[in-house]
Structure 1
Amino acid sequence: MSPSASSPATGESTGAAWLERYTGSLLNVFGTPQRVLVRGSGSRVWDADGGEYLDLLGGIAVNVLGHAHPLLTSVVASQQATLGHISNFFTSPTQVALAERLLALAGAPEGSRVFFANSGTEAVEAALKLARRAGNSADPVRPTVVALEQGFHGRTMGALSLTHKAAYREPFAPLPGGVTHIPAGDLAALRAAITDETAALVLEPIQGEAGVLPLPPGYLREARRLTLEAGALLIIDEVQTGVGRTGRWFAFQHEPDFMPDAVTLAKGLGGGFPIGALITFGPAVSDLLGPGQHGSTFGGNPVATAAGLATLHVIESDDLLGNAARMGERLRAGLAAVPGVTEVRGRGLLIGFDLDADTPDGTGAGLAPAVVTAALEAGFIINAPGPRTIRLAPALLLTAEEADSFVAALPGLLDAARAAIAGTASSAGTASSTGTGRTEPAQE
């Protein structure tokens, strides 16, 4: 399964040629891509040089049906051939049907509604507008939205005001105001923050970009109690955790008899086709946004909503909720038994695991990125959201054989990463002593 270095037809790396064209034509906001991918099937993808990879990241929790799923592909092509875009002066059967399906799956009460967008950050923007309407319609006005430290909610300016990471926020200051961040999981901080000035509390049940950090038991229920008492909205960001990722349709459904005021969705909802959604629970919340107060040219278009319906159908008909729960448990158990893995977290097929600090410099810094590089060379796509943390978010149709293959390979990947770090440190030391090379880490 390990990738080849060059194209057998030409002897030259076609991937390198594409990357050269990439750097000459695309805005440099992602750095240099790791590979040029050209084809996928199920949980596997192939690059421009013929290399094959087991995709354990799923486009960052997007490809819940894997790549090129036959039903999803057929539905998208058929809908585009029938009716592609109509604007929101009109509606379509697929838009209405998907909204009804989401409300049913969420257990939403009568008077609940759905707004369709094109991405997670757009869904969060709609949710933030909902929060502002709730705050502005209160007497007196409620100026504050509370979010959690380490949370990630998107990169557009409104969503960025909720996102906590300084490196994302500071280059674009000043951001829209009125957002207060509190430590995630700290009940005392939560109780102090939710007051009669709070319009809404926005949180992820599992903080994916922070390293797959679940909120502690009881936190969601206490958040619900406090927001109800204060008359504030509770908005759950399920962009990464929704649509079966955790073994339930929504992560909040792991909490019995729990209902938020609003939920944001995207990523897995279209199985890879761009779509986002805001679900509002009950008429009091759903009536906060009226005609002309929000909109989207492409949101809820027939193709995207047909993709959403197909995705939900496959998840249900193929018991992918059950498979996500079973394969997630299998992966977590296997990972926990690997020497060098110090902690495993997550639900279903959203998994984070931490690595020990046994690196040549004794700090562990950079071990996870080095493991990502070693894994790619060995034919596995994974992600490092932190210097010691690996994240997995594969397709919900992942097989036991595929899960086991990564667990079996991980000890060797850790050894390769440590060896690479040792070699880098040795080379840097030699260069520093002779004054002929760089001592800072190379840019990725």
Structure 2
Amino acid sequence: MKTLRLIFESFRFALTALRSNLLRTILSLLGVTVGIFSIILVFTVVDSLERNVKESLAFLGDNVIYVEKWPWIFGPEYPWWKFVNRPQASYPEYEFVAEKVTNAKAVSIMARRRTTARYGSNSTGGVTLFGVSYEHQDVADIPVENGRYFSPLEVQTARNVAVIGANVVEALFPTTDPLGKELTIKGQRYQVIGVMKRVGENLLDGPSNDDNIFVPYKAFLKAYYSGRYDGVGSIIAIKGKEGQNMTELLEEVRGVMRQRRGLRPREEDTFALNQPQMLSDMVSSIFGVITIVGAVIGSFAILIGGFGIANIMFVSVRERTNQIGIQKSLGAKRYFILLQFLFEAVFLSLLGGIAGLLLVYPFTFISFGALDFTLSLSNVVIGLGLAVVIGIISGLMPAWSAARMDPVTAIRTA
């Protein structure tokens, strides 16, 4: 009870002092306001960018390994000459991997081509046609909103059926229900059996299901390769089981593929094993550096705000020296005087921090195209926490000097 009363009294003294010098209070908290605004705005922008970039990569799937010819290598130079003569992943290899890999939840194969789709007098270019196996729905997200996905029989018998994206529907079927209709791609007619849920644009302007058309893998081969398996730029996708150690799965897939291609122990892999996690890790490392740089820049603004609060607290101590002497002569303890001024500094800094966060918040209502700008709870906590820390550091020395004053000397001070 005594502690709560002490806190309340210190808070009341601090509030009275701040209200009695309102203009000085406002000018003092401006520095902290600008500092918190700067650093939290940087954190929020970086967090929002990182989250939106990773969401843009979500089409690659989670816990998935891609077996293909070309590796995902990031850097100024891509050593293409090392990989150009590698064979493409093939359908027989897909069947072998699906049979031999034991730690996989699902294994699929896919191939794709940029093409033009037509229905009646309507056409749309820039469409990506995917030929996929039945298991692809378990590897990647194909959110069928209307209609249905392929059946295993349709995939096995190479039926010309298609699941299309929202933008394809708008371009080819603006006034009619697409289900049951037949669109034409490269001379082949495909019956629409499903329509995918709209995804919308993403930050990287990357692949989106809105512009995709999915057909059975063997139906895709009929259109582009006369039904042959050779020469197809296919990719085998392996999704791990729930909780599966991806390193173990990676090594298992590597062993199975090396066995299938008859590679000797000392021979290098003639295939690439790519993971979406590689892209996510790269994005995290890049934005981690940006966050550090932003924090360093923002810290200078906060430092200036801290100096401002420290300066104004020293002025406040000098102005209230006589009052401090009276309080101590009436029995006020050192810690009471210390807390009184420390509370004032923290309260002043906290007001500046709240004002800085309020300046950041309106940015969440502004449209930045595909960028979803969000002020997260963690950044709010960081902002308020920084304000409290700056208040304690800035107010500690002035509060300590006030607490150590001799009451007789303080009372005599005019």
TM-score bin, normalised by smaller chain: under 0.3
Q: Which has the higher helix share?
A: 2
> Over alpha carbons, which structure has the higher Rg?
2
TM-score normalised to structure 2 length:
0.24
TM-score by length of 1: 0.23
